[in-house]
Structure formats: C-alpha cells, structure tokens
Amino acid sequence: MSVLVLAEHNNQSLKEATKKALTAALKIFSPAHVVVIGNNCASAANDAATLEGVEKVLLVEDTTYENMLCEPTADLLFELMKSYDYLVSAATTNGKNILPRVAAKLDVSQISEIISVIDNKTFQRPIYAGNAIATVESSTEKNVITVRTTAFETAQVGSSVATIEKIDAGNNPGLSEFIEEKVSSSERPELTSAGIIVSGGRGMQSGDNFKMLESVADKLGAAVGASRAAVDAGFVPNEYQVGQTGKVVAPELYIAVGISGAIQHLAGMKDSKVIVAINKDDEAPIFEVADYGLVADLFDAVPELDKELEKIQK
Amino acid sequence: MKILVPVKRVVDYNVKIRVDKETNAVDLNNIKMSINPFDEIAVEEAIRIKEAGQCDEIVVVSLGPEQSKETIRNALAMGADRGIHVKTDHSPEPLLVAKILEKVCEKEDYDLIILGKQSIDDDCNQTGQMLSALLNRSLGTYASKVEIENDTIIVTREIDGGLQTIKLKKPAVLTTDLRLNEPRYASLPNIMKAKQKTIDELDPSDLGIDMTPKVSTKKVEEPPKRVGGGKVESIQELVDKLKNVSGVI
Ligand SMILES: Cc1cc2nc3c(=O)[nH]c(=O)nc-3n(C[C@H](O)[C@H](O)[C@H](O)COP(=O)(O)OP(=O)(O)OC[C@H]3O[C@@H](n4cnc5c(N)ncnc54)[C@H](O)[C@@H]3O)c2cc1C
C-alpha cells in the first residue's frame, strides 16, 4: 500500500495544515510520501522531508504551478496516482478545490473532511454542519481523502531526513490563468492554527469596532475571527469567517463577542477547548456551548477585558 | 450562451436535525426542506447574467425524488427558463451526480454550469469539481465575483488567505460562495408563471450510468454533546477563571 500527501505551502514553507493531514495519512499507512507542487518551493520540500513518517518527498517545480491552479495540478496528481493507492490533503481551499477533480479522473468518490481513521477503508466525517457524524466505508482500491485538520495532531520532526526526488512538470492544459491574489498580511497567527481566537459578530456594528477585538487579541497572542454576518456586512474580509462554510477551528480558547451562535457558526468552533461568550441577550444560543458566558454589553465588556489583560501582563 | 444550474433539495438551513437511533440515520420526517442555499445563489447569478444580456437560456436540473420538482419550480419562479428532473429515490454520492450531469451536458451543450460550492446536508464540496474533470473544462470554485467576457470568464474566488482572481476559458464550471450575490425572492406573478414552464423528466437508467455507490454509510451518530451553559458575573471573574481554573491564558 502507498499514500501520497499533497502539501499546502506558500512556495517557502510547509503549512501546519499539511502536518496534520500527514498524521491522518500515517494512520492509513506508514510511512507516507509527500508531494510538493509549486514554483521555487524547494524549502517547503525540505520542511516536509524532516517530518516523522515521511519516507520520500516528490518535488515538482514549474511556473505552471506557482499558484496551484486547479487543472494542471489535478492532471499532475492524476499521473502520480498511477503509483499510489491513497491521495490525502488537508481540507484547505486548495485541497478542496483540487482533490475532487483528481478523484473524478480516477473514477472514485472523494471522502471529504475525515475526522478519524477507523481502518484503511473506514472513516468518520461530520455531516449536517457537524450535527451528525457518519461512518463511511470505501469500496475502491484507490482513495482520495481530505482531512479536517482540527481533528488531528501536528506531525513532529523525525530523527532522519527523507530523500527528495525531483519530478518533471506535466502539461498545462491552459484552461485557466492566474491574475492576482489579495492576501491580507497580518502579524497575528493564522486562524486555523491559533491557540486563542477572538471572534466578532454582527453585534460589533462596524469594522472600526473590530479594533477593540484586535487589541484584546494582541494581548493574548490570538487570531481574530468573525461570523458570516460580520463578513457579509463588510466589517472584516472573507478569510475571517468561522463556520460550516468558512474555517473550522478548535483553539484552546475561543472568545465569541456579539455572535448569536447559529448552527452554521457553531459548526466551525464547537470543538474549541474553552469557549467564552460575551452577548447582551441572555438567551443567545451561543451560551449553550459556552463554558464561561458573560451577559453584558460588549462595548463595556470588551474594553474592560482589555484593561484586565493589560494588568496581568504587567 | 446557455447556462445549466444544478439544484438540490436539502433540509432547510434553520432546522436542527436529529439522529434517529433506531434507523441509524438523520430523521427527515416532517422536516422543512428547501433549495440548498448555495444553489439558490447559483440560480441568482445565472439570472443576473441573463439580465445583463449575456445569456439566452437558463436550465435548472435536480436529482432526487418527486418533491425535487418543487425545488426546480422555486428556481423557475426566480427566473430560470425550464427544468430537468432526474428521478432517483435518494440523492446519490457526488461522483454519481457528476456523472449524471455529464450526461445531461451531452444531450445539450451548455457554455457555463454554475453549482453551489457544497450542499449543507452532506457537506461534501465535490460535485462541481468532479463535473469539471469529467467534461474536461475549466473550473472556478468559491466564486464571489463573476465577469463574463467574450471567450473568457474572470472569477474572484474566496480562498483561505483572502481573494484570488483567475481567468477561465469558456466553457467553464463555477461553484458559488456566500458573497457572490443575495438571491431575490420570487414574486407572486413569477410563481404563477413558473407553473407553466416545462420540466422534462429523465431516468438515470436511460443514461447508462452504473449507479452502484462507491462509498457506503455504515452508521450515523450524534456527536458528543458539549456541556456549556456556565456563566460568569464580571470580567474580573472571567479572567480569573481563564487563568486559574482553565489555565488557557
Ligand atoms: C448556507 C449558509 C452558510 C452559512 N455559513 C456560516 C458560517 O460559515 N459561519 C457563520 O458564522 N455563519 C454562517 N451562516 C450564517 C448563520 O446562519 C448566521 O446568520 C450568522 O452566523 C449570524 O451571525 P451573528 O451571530 O454575528 O449575527 P446575529 O445572529 O445577528 O447575532 C448578533 C448577536 O450580537 C448580540 N449583540 C448585539 N449587540 C450587542 C452588544 N452591544 N453587546 C453584546 N452583544 C450584542 C445579539 O444579542 C446577537 O446575539 C450561514 C448561513 C447559511 C444560510
């Protein structure tokens, strides 16, 4: 048996999400191979080579793959999959975009966002926004799987370094072209790997008011997230959205401010270790999942929290 | 230009579902069903493209039991032109849906197919991508902005880090994200008009597709319940608890 893990990277370093997907892959079969597809991305391949359980890293570098456009990347993976039984990726937007295209070419179904590996054909995955967990069994030789990263530990650096094999680029079918990417750069940790997240909802009333949350976040070394309502209202950009159809997170501490706790929002954060809710409506559903609920006006409570944290920092 | 929009009938997004312990499945008895919200956004986008004079006809297709016709009628009432109903007892897995849609596209050619990025019941997020592979067409997932030009489509996509813009060759497959548009409500006259629009029927067995599932569901369970409901009276108490009881700050 053989497992290939698709690496998520920024052409420089390997993303945390892939280290978690690797942990899931190793539960299917160990050791695994990792494929790094990009342009001038050898350093990401070096990162992957140090991880425990990685036997070999395939490195494919070409301008075609600079932005991981779906069609050429899927074609290349389809070719590589002639020698593998499993293709595994983190359920990042790249993984979710590319893997089903490979699965269809292989004439297999994809098993999306697994949260546990029961055996090499049986997996658990959330359905209905995480309100039910399905145990599914695959009947095919080849399998294509995406991994919900919050459910798996980060793979650690191992004692040996895997070999890196360079692979030739495939053809570019020329169906699409990259134009631009607007990626907000932030000093704060990434949402999906942050230990603490401070999220705001419609109750924040404006993008300006998010500065209050940023101030709290910076004292805690936290990331800032949001509900869909806050994103739709234009308070913060789309990449802040936590939920069923945004990012799924499970930090040590999640602080929900002015968020009601709709099913779709809970789906993205209810596996956090400790949940704090600040909301002026004592019947808001968010309190049902909160360990510490504070019924208060956020415009009083958040500045107070900020001051209190400043005190303990000193 | 002709646009195809596949739509799925799903449990309404406001319903909190329950797992039936006896049948080991989600209890769908007497539950409100609606058009999948992302598919509604897809229908709206197609209509806007038509209103901009860039499309001649919008066809909606749905796979599922007889009631899926209601979902098709919804889309027709919003402004789609005609429907195709592919009769199946339940909703098959995404690969099979994509194969059926491929056949639908063989019968008539579509320049653009717009799907929802995921259905809110099985949360698979696969069908559009798979269909693009089977048809060997360009793919723009998670679209938050779509601009049609002569032979190309400019798509802005919601990605993990922010927004990405790509240019696709036509014919293309798109999947919608939440911020692409806000779907309209169907007006009463349009609901009446939709009753006159044609819905053709297709039987999957006539399409020559092997409908054997490749993945089977062994069981469905409720997730472990989170015990919440704890309250604090003040920020001081909150910070004290986080520091000294939970040890998370
Ligand atoms: C297909 C689909 C997908 C979706 N996906 C997602 C998703 O991924 N993520 C997501 O979050 N949502 C998602 N939603 C939307 C979801 O259903 C809710 O509409 C949304 O989560 C509500 O956001 P909110 O809690 O910020 O706003 P509201 O529900 O409006 O809640 C605002 C809260 O703020 C409180 N508040 C107001 N003012 C104050 C104040 N001064 N002090 C304290 N509290 C205050 C109010 O009491 C209220 O509880 C989705 C919906 C659909 C249909």
Each residue of B81-110: pLDDT tens digit? Answer: 999 999 998 889 999 999 999 999 999 999
Pocket test for ligand 1, best of A227, A231, A249, A257 (most atoms within 8 A of CB): A227
Pocket test for ligand 1, best of A228, A235, A270, A304 (most atoms within 8 A of CB): A228
Q: Is there a contact between A71 and B138 (Cβ–Cβ < 8 Å)?
A: yes
B37 lines ligand 1 (CB under 6 A): yes
Q: Is there a contact between A194 and A223 (Cβ–Cβ < 8 Å)?
A: yes
Contacts with A288 from chain B: Cβ below 8 Å: 228-229
Give the tokens for residue B119. 């259905």
Q: Is there a contact between B183 and B148 (Cβ–Cβ < 8 Å)?
A: no
Which residues 33-72 of chain B have a CB within 8 Å of chain A?
38
| pLDDT attached to residue A268 | 98
| pLDDT attached to residue B109 | 94
Give the tokens for residue A8. 């998520």
| pLDDT attached to residue B26 | 94
DSSP B198: -
Q: Is there a contact between A245 and B119 (Cβ–Cβ < 8 Å)?
A: no
Of B103, B113, B96, B112, nearest to B1 by C-alpha is: B112
Give the tokens for residue A214. 């940023």
Which residues 130-189 of chain A have a CB within 8 Å of chain B?
130-140, 173-184
- Span B14-25, average pLDDT: 91
| pLDDT attached to residue A13 | 96
The span from the CA of A204 to the CA of B46, in Å, is 33
Q: Does B248 touch chain A (CB under 8 A)?
A: yes
Contacts with A275 from chain B: Cβ below 8 Å: 228
| pLDDT attached to residue B68 | 97
A124, with CB counted inside 10 A (0-12, 13-18, 19+), is buried
Q: How far is the CA of B55 from the centre of ligand 1 (A)?
A: 35
pLDDT digits (tens, 9 = 90+) for A267-302: 999 999 999 999 999 999 999 999 999 999 999 999
Give the tokens for residue A288. 């049902």
pLDDT-flagged residues of chain A (< 50): none
B15 lines ligand 1 (CB under 6 A): no
| pLDDT attached to residue B91 | 85
- Span B132-160, average pLDDT: 97
Of B139, B135, B141, B138, nearest to B38 by C-alpha is: B141
For the ranges A252-256, B18-22, B74-78, B124-128, the lowest mean pLDDT is seen at B18-22
pTM over 0.95, yes/no: yes
pLDDT at B60 over 90: yes
Q: How confident is the model at residue B133 (pLDDT cuts 50, 70, 90)?
A: very high
Q: How confident is the model at residue B23 (pLDDT cuts 50, 70, 90)?
A: confident
Of B225, B216, B2, B243, nearest to B108 by C-alpha is: B2
Give the tokens for residue B134. 């089977």
| pLDDT attached to residue A104 | 98
Q: How far is the CA of A219 from the centre of ligand 1 (A)?
A: 25
Q: How far is the CA of A261 from the centre of ligand 1 (A)?
A: 6
Helical (H) or strand (E) element with B100: helix B94-107
| pLDDT attached to residue B22 | 87
